[in-house]
Amino acid sequence: MSSVHESMFATSGIPLHESQMGVSVVYVRGARETTSFTARRSGETARDLALEMDITTRVFLLPATSLVIGGSAIQPRVGDKIKEGTKVFQIFPSEGGPPAVTLKVGDHDWQVHTKLVS
């Protein structure tokens, strides 16, 4: 894809897709957070029989241009949180699976693996 097409995709295609297929979230690092933005996500809930509780995980695709705190672009990292409505998800280190944080092809989205914490 040419740089002109990539630029058009980043400025037009991605926002259109996010607005149609995403959820509103706020990215949180410590006491600081982004303004709300649209992220895509997938998730699952599994029952831990030993602990007798459900564990909810989500993979979020976060637009790199939306991760701005205090006027500075940030990169997601383990320990940061994502608020989706009343639910809070935390980025956790990988346990033998894919990395917790990955910059996706084209450098437009961060993929982060999270677990529901509240």
Highest averaged pLDDT of the listed ranges 18-22, 39-43, 64-68: 64-68
Q: Is the pLDDT of residue 19 over 60?
A: no
In this prediction, residue 8 carries a pLDDT of: 56
Query: Residue 15 and residue 65: Cα distance in Å, rounded?
Result: 11
The confidence score (pLDDT) of residue 50 equals 73
Select from 109, 105, 104, 76 the least CA-distant residue to 92.
76
**Structural domain tally of the chain?**
1
CATH number at 25 reads 2.40.10
Nearest to 111 by CA among 35, 33, 41: 41
Tens of pLDDT, residue by residue over 53-77, are: 777 889 999 999 999 999 999 999 9
* Domain boundaries, position 71: 3-116
Q: What's the pLDDT band for 13 if we cut at 50, 70, 90?
A: low
Residue 104 and residue 98: Cα distance in Å, rounded?
A: 13
